[in-house]
């Protein structure tokens, strides 16, 4: 898979597509990105836009069916190319549509949110929500991922923060990045490159998430529960930040990890580290998450910065941490 990370890299799209030489090209994007960046693509290549509504609530089978129908209508074949232009919702949907249409078309991703540039568009996981988050999906490697940090200039500030939730996760997994984040100034090409490299290193060892890749779920056991219990109103990166704090506090209890190291980064970026949900409800949601192992509570826990372990944790410990992390308990 070719990953290009370059300021102004969007201008290389034509030559990338020429190399693939697809029969037809469709660009899947949403109503927001259509106004901002679609022309930059249509100026360079001949492609049919498929525009979907903006929002996580549209990451579902109905949207996929609309896309499949449109592809049939325009005479799409396996030798055709789908380009996903958007944040993680669009890249997940586009990749899922591409992997399933006629058993797989060419696929290119142009992630436009910070979170999609450092995470969602990397690693070949596709998915839609069905009864729960990302329950239906495939593993499918794109032919190219074109990451242009210039596209972030239209991104609302809150979405930058959202992406930083996943960046802090990478910082806990990699001590070199952790040190850089401590003296962090701004989101730039080198930060994106570093996160992508960390993710790729881990993914390449374990494409289908049987073993080591699971460490990328650091912070996601509690994070997914927070997303679900908030009715998906809380952004993914913020939920992961809360999940990272929970993992750090659990690790402190079970192995003496210094949770202050994680807290310091979350504070630096102004990311949340407490919640306002019923701890029991979070626990219930965690037990039915697909990342739980047959109902057991398995956590990725930091032993130190740059070193994590996968461990089963008892309910009592998890509940105590979730209770301690509630806003109201902090005000006491």
Interface with ligand NAD by CB under 6 A: which residues? 30, 32-33, 36, 54, 56, 59, 86-90, 92, 112-113, 115-116, 119-120, 123, 125, 134, 151-152, 154-155, 159, 162, 236
* Nearest-angstrom CA–CA distance, 14 and 278: 51
Closest separation in Å from C-beta 48 to ligand NAD: 20
* Nearest-angstrom CA–CA distance, 91 and 56: 12
What 3-state class would DSSP assign to 21?
coil
Tokens of 43: 């100026």
**Residue closer to ligand NAD (CB basis): 122 or 249:** 122
Closest separation in Å from C-beta 155 to ligand NAD: 4
Cβ pair 60, 130 in contact under 8 A: yes
**Residue closer to ligand NAD (CB basis): 156 or 260:** 156
Tokens of 279: 């701890």
Closest separation in Å from C-beta 256 to ligand NAD: 30
Closest separation in Å from C-beta 208 to ligand NAD: 13
Closest separation in Å from C-beta 161 to ligand NAD: 11
Contacts with 294 (C-beta within 8 Å, 6 or more apart), sequence order: none
Tokens of 144: 């190219």
**Residue closer to ligand NAD (CB basis): 214 or 236:** 236
Closest separation in Å from C-beta 330 to ligand NAD: 27
* Nearest-angstrom CA–CA distance, 265 and 194: 17
Closest separation in Å from C-beta 200 to ligand NAD: 12
How far is C-alpha 234 from the geometric centre of its chain's CA atoms? 14
Tokens of 138: 């495939």
* Nearest-angstrom CA–CA distance, 237 and 187: 15
Closest separation in Å from C-beta 288 to ligand NAD: 17
| DSSP result, 115-150 | HIIIIITSSSB--EEESEEEEE--B---SEEEE-GG
**Residue closer to ligand NAD (CB basis): 202 or 321:** 202
Residue number of the CB closest to ligand NAD reads: 88
**Residue closer to ligand NAD (CB basis): 32 or 99:** 32
* Nearest-angstrom CA–CA distance, 260 and 249: 9
**Residue closer to ligand NAD (CB basis): 63 or 162:** 162
- Across-strand partners of 21? none
Cβ pair 222, 243 in contact under 8 A: yes
Cβ pair 27, 202 in contact under 8 A: no
* Nearest-angstrom CA–CA distance, 97 and 101: 6
What 3-state class would DSSP assign to 299?
strand
**Residue closer to ligand NAD (CB basis): 119 or 174:** 119
**Residue closer to ligand NAD (CB basis): 105 or 217:** 217
**Residue closer to ligand NAD (CB basis): 154 or 175:** 154
Closest separation in Å from C-beta 141 to ligand NAD: 12
* Nearest-angstrom CA–CA distance, 164 and 57: 22
């Amino acid at each position: 898979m070719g990953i290009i990370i370059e300021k102004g890299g969007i201008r290389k799209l034509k030559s990338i597509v020429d190399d693939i030489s697809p029969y037809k090209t469709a660009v899947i994007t949403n109503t927001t990105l259509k106004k901002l960046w679609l022309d930059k693509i249509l100026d360079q290549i001949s492609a049919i836009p498929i525009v979907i509504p903006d929002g996580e609530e549209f990451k579902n089978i109905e949207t996929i069916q609309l896309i499949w129908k449109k592809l049939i209508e325009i005479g799409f074949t396996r030798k055709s190319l789908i380009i996903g232009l958007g944040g993680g919702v669009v890249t997940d949907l586009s990749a899922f549509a591409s992997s399933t249409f006629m058993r797989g078309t060419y696929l290119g991703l142009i992630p436009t949110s910070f979170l999609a540039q450092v995470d969602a568009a990397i690693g070949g996981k596709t998915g839609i929500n069905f009864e729960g988050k990302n329950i239906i999906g495939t593993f499918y490697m794109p032919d190219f991922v074109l990451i242009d940090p210039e596209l972030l200039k239209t991104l609302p500030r809150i979405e930058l923060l959202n992406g930083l939730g996943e960046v802090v996760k990478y910082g806990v997994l990699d001590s070199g990045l952790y040190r850089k984040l401590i003296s962090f100034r701004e989101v730039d090409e080198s930060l994106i490159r570093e996160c992508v490299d960390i993710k790729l290193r881990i993914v390449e060892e374990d494409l289908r998430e049987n073993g080591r890749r699971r460490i990328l779920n650091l912070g996601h056991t509690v994070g997914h529960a927070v997303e679900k219990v908030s009715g998906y109103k809380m952004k993914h990166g913020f939920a992961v930040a809360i999940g990272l704090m929970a993992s750090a506090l659990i690790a402190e209890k079970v192995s003496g990890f210094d949770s202050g190291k994680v807290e310091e980064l979350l504070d630096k970026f102004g990311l949340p580290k407490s919640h306002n949900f019923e701890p029991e409800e979070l626990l219930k949601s965690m037990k039915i998450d697909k990342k739980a192992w047959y109902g057991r509570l398995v956590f990725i826990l930091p032993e130190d910065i740059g070193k994590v372990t996968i461990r089963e944790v008892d309910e009592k410990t998890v509940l105590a941490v979730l209770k301690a992390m509630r806003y109201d308990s902090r005000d006491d």
